[in-house]
Amino acid sequence: MKGEAHTNNIENFWSHVKRTIIGTYFQVSDHHLESYINEFSFRYNNRDLTDGSRFDVTLANAEKRLTYKELIARRTKRA
C-alpha cells in the first residue's frame, strides 16, 4: 500500500500534530504555525527512520543557521 493515500493517513497525521501540541508545546502561536506543521510533517514522513538516520537527513537538508535576530525580523514583517 505504500504510495497510496487514504483519509486515515491525514487523520493519523493530524492526530499526531494535536497530541504533540498538547503534550509538548502546550500552545502554538499563529506566527510560527507553518514552522510547527513543517516539523510535524518531517517527523511523520520520516517516522520509520532511526533517530540517527533522521538526524542525518536533517543535517543533509539544512541550508543555513537561523539566528534569533532573523527570526524576530521575520516576525515584524508579518505583523
Are the C-beta atoms of 21 and 28 separated by less than 8 Å? yes
- What's the pLDDT tens digit per position in 2-48? 667 778 888 888 998 888 888 887 778 887 888 888 888 988 888 89
Global pTM reads: 0.62
pLDDT value of position 76? 55
Are the C-beta atoms of 27 and 21 separated by less than 8 Å? yes
Residue with cell 505583523: 79
pLDDT value of position 74? 59
pLDDT value of position 56? 93
Strands (E), 4-78: none
